Chain A
Amino acid sequence: MRRLWQQLAIATNWPVLAAAAVLLTLGTMSIWADTRDSSDPVWPKHLVFVVVGIGAMAAFQAVNYQILGRWAWAFYGLSLALILYTVAGSLIGGRAPLPFVRQVNGTYAWLVFGGMSLQPAELMKISFVMLLARYLRHRSSYRTLGGLIVPFVLTGVPVLMILKQPDLGTALVFGPALFAMLFVAGAHVRHLAGIVAAVVLVGFPLAWLSGPVEAGAPGLPLLRHLPAVVRNYQRERVYSLFRNDPEDRNATGFQQERALMAMGSGGATGKGLGVVPVGRRVPEAHNDMVFALVGEQFGFLGSLAVVTAYVVLFAAGFEIASATREPFGKLVAVGVVTLLAAQAGINLLVAIRLMPVTGVPLPFVSYGGSSLLASFLAIGLLLNIGQNRPFIIARSPFDFG
């Protein structure tokens, strides 16, 4: 028994677990604070998710990740199928177009089973990282521009489908993960930079400008015949970031304004555990704006704790990636950490009003079963990689000299 603990203590990456524990604690306290007096106190449900998540994490940690890796195509296929099923629902429209598909907040991102719901896009994140890592592990084709096509297709298909649900926030985290993995795998920086430049200089303006006038686009010739990519409410969210119009504040900027009030009123040391009078009036506080709840309860110290925990988590993740010489594991670690970092980054930037509202949960902190499950699976993989470092007598991977 004692040996087991000792082994576990050596094998497990404690900083990762500690960081996750800090984030989970802060998150649970915030969810409790936000909903304890409400008609639907969801914090017990959250605790159930945490337990389920820990189970899933343990499961992903127990089996060697390389065995899991063999199932990458299957995971990817299953996730994509589920997403396609929801997309089919969104094409039909209505409140409940297909069995298990429900319209929630104007999107068809969830599959609903009785009282539980699952967001296939969250599963897709993990599946995608595993598949991409598996695809990239022993190749070098991506060092040519043409070789980048397959990784981009593998990313693009689920991203486009997720956008179709539509769930912009979830779709946004795929990009950083893709680029980080290609970057670490050794793709030419000029290729990646070129693609980024093309997206920023051509893709973004094209997406912004295309579509008919009814969709809010300027209606330029030719472009107005293209399908609208950006939706009206998304345009409004971007506008509201730059305009100081009360109409906007009411509609879209309101959430951020209130979130900042909650955070700011927490001051340096916060109002104390469970005291969130302002945060309670932030719409969706325990989901997208949970950072504000932490900030109101624990002040700047709370914000510092969240940021520190993430830095520890990500640094430990990169340490694992760095220490792993096995290419699949290394890429999965990078992908998983980048996913979490991108998700946390987007959520935090929204909460502090440096980005328009997108609706991404904060990993380990926000309420939400699917997201929590995906996050646990992610660190499950990470710990798995960290404790199964195969000793390979070979040149280090991706060493192209």
Chain B
Amino acid sequence: MFERRLKLLLVCIVLLMGVVLMRAAQVQIAQADQWRERAGASMTRVQTVETYRGAILDRHGKALAVDTACVDAGVDYRAIRNPPDAAWVQQVAVSRLAAKGLNREQRRSLLAREQEQVRADIAAMWVRLAEVAQRSDESREESIDRIEQTRVAIVNRVEYLKRSLQYHAYRRARERFDDDADRVDWKSWLLEGRSGPPEIDAFAVDIAEETSVHPVVKDLHLLVANQLQKDADRMPGLMVSPGVTRRYPYHESAAHVIGSLGKAGQEEVLDGGNDPRRRYLPDDLIGRQGIERLCEPILRGSRGLIRSRIGGDSGPESVEASPGKSIRLTIDIDLQKSVEKVFERVSFPWPESTSDPITTEMYGAAVVLDAQSGQVLAMASHPGYDLNELSTLYKSLSLNAADRPLLNRATQAAMEPGSTIKPVIGLLGVANGVVGLYEGIECTGSLIIDGKPQWDGKCWTLKQFMNNPLAKGLTDHHKLPTDAPHKGSHGNRDGFLMFADSLERSCNVFFETVASRMSMSALCDGLRSFGLGSETGIGIEEVPGLLPDAFEGRPALRFSQQYLAGMGQGYLTATPLQMASAVSVIANGGAWIRPTLLLAADDPAGASVADAGAAAGDVSSASMPSPTSAPTTLPFTPERRELSIPLAAINEARRGMVNVVHARAGTGKNLLIDSNLPPGLKLAGKTGSAQTSKLSIPRLDPRTSEQLRNEAGGLAWDRPKLITREEPWFPGALTWYRGSGGLDRVAHAWFVGFAPAENPQVAFCVWVEYGGSGGQSAAKVAQGVLEACVDHGYLPAR
């Protein structure tokens, strides 16, 4: 009897079913929440809604950079993928055949051929888009290449988005159900899709971007858009749709200050944090330069999210997109435009000549500061470029090593300031007690150290007459011009030059002597206190410049660097912004104020950042990322440093600087010639003619933008020929590269100053690249700058 065996078998089967039931209970009751979570994550579709970037406004609210509607040519993601999505191609083919009114049998027989046709049309569409996008400076092949790159970039972006959402869901689940949250290798997985943490694939999400239209060619011309629209039947997936592009209504004006946007790279993508609304996706635009970079966190908007569950009973949850906030600059764009215009027509005589003035475009920079607050009213760097065309022109601009239009000469060019440093040196000398306020120093034409004249410390006046045999042994040259000889005054009986006199006549020997009497550290610390030798901290790209204590040559030469600094030569360089900032110390009575481009929130000049973006998204729930609070504080630290300089010394500096412009012996008196400045306006200024080296232009490889090498293996340089009075023009001449007359020397021209002298409202610095004499070209530019300030109400017009 084997009935027992039957029962045994039955028991086995029932046990098996028991196991199944227990496991079902485990999955559906004990772990139900966990599986539900996983299932939920895998069932979620997330769509992102892009938003606007905040505008950059000038101090009066005029838009300098603003997101504007445009027409884009977009393509369905399924046609962007290469090869195109097969199911979608079939779908297009079917609907095309259906549109032809074919019956089912005919459609079936033609389907394969029609799919081939759709594929061919997609390929042709990409060529057409490349033609549409082709720039004037690139070949057809380059354009096709570029479109191909765009295509790849979109695919990367979507893949990344998908992976990051998946990861986000995965991590939330892990945090909830697991103790160890993060894995070391997830970053490589996130970026490249390589194998990563376990179980993450269970959280794969579908995203709407996989089936939506992505812009491929931005900002189409309307005619082109119409043509594309007309041919849309032959271009599967093409959609001409409204988009957003950043526009710069003032084109070249303040281009260097406003800065530019670029595409986010790997670093930003990884460092973007966990907030899915603000995180950078590959190909997102990010501020790369200037204010766009500085104020990125404020300007950048938070994208919106729409999260829907497939087959879920609840409707989609969404977080509204919140646009970026606007930023107000201290720049007055109209003043800025006028200041930039000055450089286009500079009228000045050839160096060392008073006759035959020339009118030409010169390169350089001008900075106008509010003398009391440090606000930058204008910051011009010439030549500039049209920000609207930057992406098109970038390559040719960056290859232009001679003109360097991308360089912000106001903050990124540190040059020897020449004589414009002299007021600072004098003040430091008085403050350090190495020279009395009214102490005269004899100028014999050369700096005398330990009784020996120094060959490199000659006074500029002597240099002018050096080759004149009659002028040998000239000792009292500062009596020039002869009708305004210097006499002793202020208790100074010897007739030697005092601080103010030396400023007026720009005596090298006086300031060299003062600098040589100080210790190196006292000199450099003093220069530092005026904001030299380090970045001002204005927030946009700038260079720190050099101070003489950075010199590491022979000790004997180190000392010469010290006294050369007294006349702003040698191991001392500064940017025009630094010089404007230094001169405003004299203008405001002795405080260094960090210059700023950003209008503070409580500035009465206009409502500002804080109120613009309080309205973030309102909809939130446990599973949705909470509305983001974008930073509202300005990325700028104000600083005001009271320098310990006697007011009397500052007043003497002011007196000297007023005389530079208004006295008959003043080196800057050309400023007033042929000017439209109000006659009652008293100006203070200082000229500078800083000897410099000849222009050497790196020869760049047009493809890589790297410097080429010459036959000997060294770096290849071009040394262009100077324009001189004798040869004012020749083929390939750089019109702004001028020699100093018959002498084969070159110099940058400077002019710093403030106005009105008795109650300073603006401080300024003008730098003219290869402008020769500061008293000529720079004075002319300064004249234009000051006239612009009067025109726009920053100086009194009477």
Q: What residue in chain B is nearest A346 (Cβ atoms)? A: B16
Residues of B within 8 A of A354 (CB): 19, 23
Residues of B within 8 A of A263 (CB): 24, 27-28, 35
Q: Determine if A246 and B195 form an interchain contact, defined as CB atoms under 8 angstroms apart.
A: yes
Residues of A within 8 A of B23 (CB): 352, 354
Contact with A along B1-43 (1 / 0, CB 8 A): 1110111011001101101110111011101101110111011
Residues of A within 8 A of B21 (CB): 303-304, 307
Asked if A267 lies at the interface with its beta carbon under 8 angstroms from chain B, I say yes
Contact with B along A273-294 (1 / 0, CB 8 A): 0011110110000000000000
Pick the contact of A257 from B5, B36, B202, B312 — CB < 8 Å?
B202
Which of A60-68, A88-96, A218-226, A310-318 is the interface stretch?
A310-318
Tell me, in angstroms, the Cα distance from A250 to B42 when the chains sit together: 13
Contact with B along A247-269 (1 / 0, CB 8 A): 10110001001101111111110
Count of A-B residue pairs with CB < 8 Å? 144
Residues of B within 8 A of A303 (CB): 20-21, 24-25, 28
Interface of A, secondary structure class, is: helix
Known: A244-B199, A262-B39, A265-B35. A307 touches B20 (CB 8 A): yes
Pick the contact of A281 from B1, B42, B309 — CB < 8 Å?
B42
Q: Determine if B9 and A334 form an interchain contact, defined as CB atoms under 8 angstroms apart.
A: yes
Q: Determine if A318 and B29 form an interchain contact, defined as CB atoms under 8 angstroms apart.
A: no
Asked if B495 lies at the interface with its beta carbon under 8 angstroms from chain A, I say no
Q: What residue in chain B is nearest A352 (Cβ atoms)? A: B23
Pick the contact of A246 from B3, B40, B197, B312 — CB < 8 Å?
B197
Tell me, in angstroms, the Cα distance from A341 to B311 when the chains sit together: 34
Q: What residue in chain B is nearest A268 (Cβ atoms)? A: B29
Interface residues of B in 458-483 (CB under 8 A from A): none
Tell me, in angstroms, the Cα distance from A321 to B6 when the chains sit together: 8
Q: What residue in chain B is nearest A299 (Cβ atoms)? A: B28
Whole-angstrom distance between the Cβ of A352 and the nearest chain B Cβ: 4
Q: Determine if B2 and A307 form an interchain contact, defined as CB atoms under 8 angstroms apart.
A: no
Q: Determine if B199 and A267 form an interchain contact, defined as CB atoms under 8 angstroms apart.
A: no
Asked if A15 lies at the interface with its beta carbon under 8 angstroms from chain B, I say no
Asked if A232 lies at the interface with its beta carbon under 8 angstroms from chain B, I say no
Whole-angstrom distance between the Cβ of B548 and the nearest chain A Cβ: 62
Tell me, in angstroms, the Cα distance from A299 to B36 when the chains sit together: 12
Known: A278-B43, A311-B17, A352-B24. A264 touches B198 (CB 8 A): no
Whole-angstrom distance between the Cβ of A118 and the nearest chain B Cβ: 26
Residues of A within 8 A of B625 (CB): none
Interface residues of A in 336-371 (CB under 8 A from B): 337-338, 341, 345, 348-349, 352, 354
Q: Determine if B1 and A396 form an interchain contact, defined as CB atoms under 8 angstroms apart.
A: yes
Pick the contact of A352 from B20, B38, B198, B312 — CB < 8 Å?
B20
Asked if B201 lies at the interface with its beta carbon under 8 angstroms from chain A, I say yes
Tell me, in angstroms, the Cα distance from A133 to B6 when the chains sit together: 15
Asked if A322 lies at the interface with its beta carbon under 8 angstroms from chain B, I say yes
Tell me, in angstroms, the Cα distance from A257 to B28 when the chains sit together: 14
Tell me, in angstroms, the Cα distance from A170 to B199 when the chains sit together: 30
Contact with B along A168-211 (1 / 0, CB 8 A): 00000000000010011110000000000000000000000000
Whole-angstrom distance between the Cβ of A217 and the nearest chain B Cβ: 24
Whole-angstrom distance between the Cβ of A8 and the nearest chain B Cβ: 27
Q: Determine if B36 and A265 form an interchain contact, defined as CB atoms under 8 angstroms apart.
A: yes
Q: Determine if B39 and A278 form an interchain contact, defined as CB atoms under 8 angstroms apart.
A: yes
Known: A303-B24, A318-B9. A184 touches B2 (CB 8 A): yes
Residues of A within 8 A of B756 (CB): none
Asked if A40 lies at the interface with its beta carbon under 8 angstroms from chain B, I say no
Pick the contact of A338 from B9, B25, B310 — CB < 8 Å?
B9
Q: Determine if B201 and A264 form an interchain contact, defined as CB atoms under 8 angstroms apart.
A: no
Tell me, in angstroms, the Cα distance from A381 to B31 when the chains sit together: 41
Residues of B within 8 A of A311 (CB): 13-14, 17
Residues of A within 8 A of B42 (CB): 258, 261, 278, 281
Asked if B349 lies at the interface with its beta carbon under 8 angstroms from chain A, I say no
Q: What residue in chain B is nearest A292 (Cβ atoms)? A: B27
Asked if A398 lies at the interface with its beta carbon under 8 angstroms from chain B, I say yes
Contact with B along A389-401 (1 / 0, CB 8 A): 0000000101100
Whole-angstrom distance between the Cβ of B167 and the nearest chain A Cβ: 12
Q: What residue in chain B is nearest A245 (Cβ atoms)? A: B198
Residues of B within 8 A of A281 (CB): 42-43
Tell me, in angstroms, the Cα distance from A278 to B310 when the chains sit together: 8
Q: Considering only CB atoms and an 8 Å cut-off, how many residues of chain A contact the other chain?
A: 54
Interface residues of B in 142-198 (CB under 8 A from A): 195-198
Residues of B within 8 A of A184 (CB): 2, 5-6, 9
Asked if A300 lies at the interface with its beta carbon under 8 angstroms from chain B, I say yes
Asked if A27 lies at the interface with its beta carbon under 8 angstroms from chain B, I say no
Q: Determine if A264 and B195 form an interchain contact, defined as CB atoms under 8 angstroms apart.
A: no
Q: Determine if B28 and A268 form an interchain contact, defined as CB atoms under 8 angstroms apart.
A: yes
Known: A265-B35, A265-B36, A311-B17. A247 touches B312 (CB 8 A): no
Residues of B within 8 A of A386 (CB): none
Tell me, in angstroms, the Cα distance from A250 to B28 when the chains sit together: 23
Known: A246-B199, A300-B25. A265 touches B20 (CB 8 A): no
Whole-angstrom distance between the Cβ of A399 and the nearest chain B Cβ: 5
Residues of A within 8 A of B20 (CB): 303, 307, 345, 348-349, 352
Q: Determine if B311 and A275 form an interchain contact, defined as CB atoms under 8 angstroms apart.
A: yes
Q: What residue in chain B is nearest A280 (Cβ atoms)? A: B311
Residues of A within 8 A of B9 (CB): 180, 183-184, 318, 334, 338
Asked if B520 lies at the interface with its beta carbon under 8 angstroms from chain A, I say no
Asked if B306 lies at the interface with its beta carbon under 8 angstroms from chain A, I say no
Asked if A53 lies at the interface with its beta carbon under 8 angstroms from chain B, I say no
Tell me, in angstroms, the Cα distance from A133 to B28 when the chains sit together: 40
Asked if A295 lies at the interface with its beta carbon under 8 angstroms from chain B, I say yes
Known: A184-B6, A264-B34, A338-B9. A307 touches B310 (CB 8 A): no
Q: What residue in chain B is nearest A303 (Cβ atoms)? A: B24
Whole-angstrom distance between the Cβ of B37 and the nearest chain A Cβ: 9
Asked if B407 lies at the interface with its beta carbon under 8 angstroms from chain A, I say no
Tell me, in angstroms, the Cα distance from A349 to B24 when the chains sit together: 10
Asked if B200 lies at the interface with its beta carbon under 8 angstroms from chain A, I say yes
Known: A245-B198, A304-B21. A345 touches B16 (CB 8 A): yes
Whole-angstrom distance between the Cβ of B322 and the nearest chain A Cβ: 31
Pick the contact of A277 from B31, B199, B201, B312 — CB < 8 Å?
B312
Known: A261-B35, A264-B35. A307 touches B24 (CB 8 A): yes
Q: What residue in chain B is nearest A278 (Cβ atoms)? A: B39
Residues of A within 8 A of B24 (CB): 263, 295, 300, 303-304, 307, 352
Whole-angstrom distance between the Cβ of A394 and the nearest chain B Cβ: 14
Whole-angstrom distance between the Cβ of A288 and the nearest chain B Cβ: 15
Known: A281-B42, A307-B17. A322 touches B196 (CB 8 A): no
Interface residues of A in 130-165 (CB under 8 A from B): none
Q: Determine if B28 and A267 form an interchain contact, defined as CB atoms under 8 angstroms apart.
A: yes
Q: Determine if A249 and B202 form an interchain contact, defined as CB atoms under 8 angstroms apart.
A: yes
Tell me, in angstroms, the Cα distance from A250 to B204 when the chains sit together: 10
What would 18 more interface pairs be, CB under 8 Å, given A180-B9, A318-B9, A334-B9?
A: A184-B9, A186-B2, A250-B201, A257-B202, A261-B35, A261-B39, A264-B27, A267-B32, A267-B36, A277-B309, A277-B310, A277-B311, A278-B311, A303-B24, A315-B10, A318-B10, A352-B20, A399-B2
A–B complex contacts, Cβ < 8 Å, 10 sampled: A244-B199, A249-B202, A257-B202, A265-B38, A267-B29, A267-B32, A278-B42, A303-B25, A311-B14, A345-B17
Mark A residues whose CB is within 8 Å of B: 180, 183-186, 244-247, 249-250, 254, 257-258, 260-268, 275-278, 280-281, 295, 299-300, 303-304, 307, 310-311, 314-315, 318, 321-322, 334, 337-338, 341, 345, 348-349, 352, 354, 396, 398-399
